[in-house]
Amino acid sequence: MVLQRGPQKAIIWGTADTVGERVTVTIHGHGHVTTHVTKHPSKSGGIWKVKLPAITAHGPFTVLAKSSEGEATLHDVLFGDVWVCSGQSNMEFSMYNIFNASAEMATASSFKNIRIFKAKKSQSPTPYQDLSSIAIQWSLPTKRSLPNFSAVCMLYAEYLYPHLNYPIGLVDTDWGGTPIEAWSSPEALNACSHIHKRGPFVHTVLWNAMVSPLLPMTIYGAIWYQGESNAHVEAEANRYACKFPEMINDWRKRFNEASLGETRADFPFGFVQLAANSDNLANFGAFPALRWAQTAKYGFVPNKIMPNTFMSVAMDLPDPHAPYGTIHPRDKQDVARRLVLSGLSVAYGIKGIDSQGPFPTAFTAHKVHHTLHIEYDNGNIPIDVRNNTGFEVCCSAQSIPCGDHDPWVAAPVTKHDTTSVTLTTSACHQHVFGVRYAWRATPCEFKKCSVYGRDNDLPAPPFKEVAAF
């Protein structure tokens, strides 16, 4: 297994029969720590918890927990960064199902300092103190363990590893088809207006069974791929803009408290913005609104509502022939590479990494010429314009905010330079009160959206700017 490396201190915990019993945990070569058993909060017997010394050596180590009741030994323990991977089916999507699966699993098997663990699906109306069952015990990535392990999770660690050169532990806890409400505590949900769901994935049941038991573990960060089940209608997608930041804040608070302050109270949280979901480029649906809501309606992260977060844009990676439906694209490699780039910048603070796609910073309208000029990143980062499509403007006779169902018309790119594009608004015979980009479930063919970073090949994320132009 992998425990969190220093300067953070890993937490070890367990149960015992006798309250008050003395427990000693020893790491060979690094001393020992002692604690006493306290009453278990939900069942007979007791529970104990210790902080290990902060260890930066990779290992392997042997960890021994001992009391008068007996002893337990953990062998081949490494110290590195521990990441939790969670969400619904695109996070659950396994290594066995991605493009070039056999070759990818063979490569993954060579990473002996990456260790994987997967919680088994479980739900509960009340919080668990321990997982009810485990799908994959702590393991090396092997031909036996990898086929059922999250591809985004494993590939993220593979692409991250060369930059760290120390062990990585992965904890996979996910369930396809589940809404964000199931992964959120009651307190997180109460911070937002929400509709109580019915059926197998009601609010909080996965938080109780598949997150709460992990809270004492010291972790470095988390990555998340979810939102499809909240993108059925536009109104629900818009509510995600509150629910997602509240869930992140709540996870941070609770991991920090349960780990006795060792998991950072602002630990880095990465996510995948929803990928394409159709083989029809004209389809609309609620995916655009959900993508926008995933950034708390800023269009980019980190931002003041979502600090220390990072994102992988995946809307330009459609898989129209996906055997598991277009909602499950097989190209998880590009998703993970983009997530690592942004993670290196945000989660690890590495300077000089061009980790985000272009984002607009200034809009200049020329009403006489019926044009709208958009500058990206204050003119500092070069862009690559691959076609003239994807932009739309909102036409209205009144100065009112433009919604998704107001008259939006195409505004093709007429010219561009290294840092900006100019759109024609001539199709708008009224006033222009908004501009948006890539506002479709599948906004383009594979890697053929309009605007990318010239040097990093990262797509500009979708955006919506509502103002009088």
Domain boundaries, the chain: 2-77, 79-346, 360-466
Nearest to 301 by CA among 150, 435, 91, 463: 463
Judge whether residue 200 has pLDDT over 70: no
Query: What's this model's pTM, rounded to 2 decimal places?
Result: 0.95
Give yes or no for a contact between 361 and 375, defined as CB atoms under 8 angstroms apart.
yes
| Beta strand 413-416 pairing with 420-424 | antiparallel
Give yes or no for a contact between 36 and 22, defined as CB atoms under 8 angstroms apart.
yes
What is the C-alpha to C-alpha distance for residues 114 and 110, in angstroms, rounded to an integer? 9
Nearest to 155 by CA among 414, 335, 377: 335
Mean pLDDT along residues 28-41: 89
DSSP string, 146-178: GGGSBHHHHHHHHHHHHHH-S-EEEEEEE-TT-
The tens digit of pLDDT for each residue in 254-273 reads 999 999 999 999 999 999 99
The encoded tokens of residue 342 equal 């942004």
What is the C-alpha to C-alpha distance for residues 36 and 48, in angstroms, rounded to an integer? 6
What is the C-alpha to C-alpha distance for residues 17 and 289, in angstroms, rounded to an integer? 52
Q: Which of 17-21, 122-126, 280-284, 439-443 has the lowest mean pLDDT?
A: 280-284
Half-sphere exposure of 430 (CA within 13 A, CB side): 16
| Beta strand 70-87 pairing with 221-225 | parallel
Mean pLDDT along residues 107-135: 96
What is the C-alpha to C-alpha distance for residues 259 and 267, in angstroms, rounded to an integer? 12
Q: Is 96 left (phi over 0), alpha (psi -120 to 50) or beta?
A: alpha
The tens digit of pLDDT for each residue in 428-462 reads 887 888 999 999 999 999 999 999 999 999 999 99
Mean pLDDT along residues 337-350: 97
> If pLDDT is split at 50, 70 and 90, which confidence band does 197 have?
low
> If pLDDT is split at 50, 70 and 90, which confidence band does 397 have?
confident
DSSP string, 229-290: GG-SSHHHHHHHHHHHHHHHHHHHHHHHHHTTT-S-TT--EEEEPP----S-TT--SSHHHH
pLDDT at 195: 55
Mean pLDDT along residues 405-422: 92
What is the CATH number assigned to the segment(s) 79-346? 3.40.50.1110
- pLDDT cut 70: percent of the chain above it: 96
Task: Specify the DSSP class assigned to residue 297.
Answer: T
Query: Tokens 């655009």 correspond to what residue?
Result: 288
Judge whether residue 79 has pLDDT over 50: yes
Judge whether residue 7 has pLDDT over 50: yes
Nearest to 159 by CA among 346, 283, 338: 338
What is the C-alpha to C-alpha distance for residues 49 and 115, in angstroms, rounded to an integer? 23
Mean pLDDT along residues 376-397: 92
> If pLDDT is split at 50, 70 and 90, which confidence band does 404 have?
low
Q: Which amino acid is at 65?
A: A
Give the domain 2-77 fold.
Answer: Immunoglobulin-like (2.60.40)
What is the C-alpha to C-alpha distance for residues 295 and 213, in angstroms, rounded to an integer? 28
Give yes or no for a contact between 151 and 98, defined as CB atoms under 8 angstroms apart.
yes
pLDDT at 235: 86
Task: Specify the DSSP class assigned to residue 380.
Answer: -
Radius of gyration of the chain from Cα atoms? 24
Mean pLDDT along residues 273-298: 89
b or e along 305-316 (b: 16 or more beta carbons within 10 Å of the residue's beta carbon)? bbebbbbbbbbb
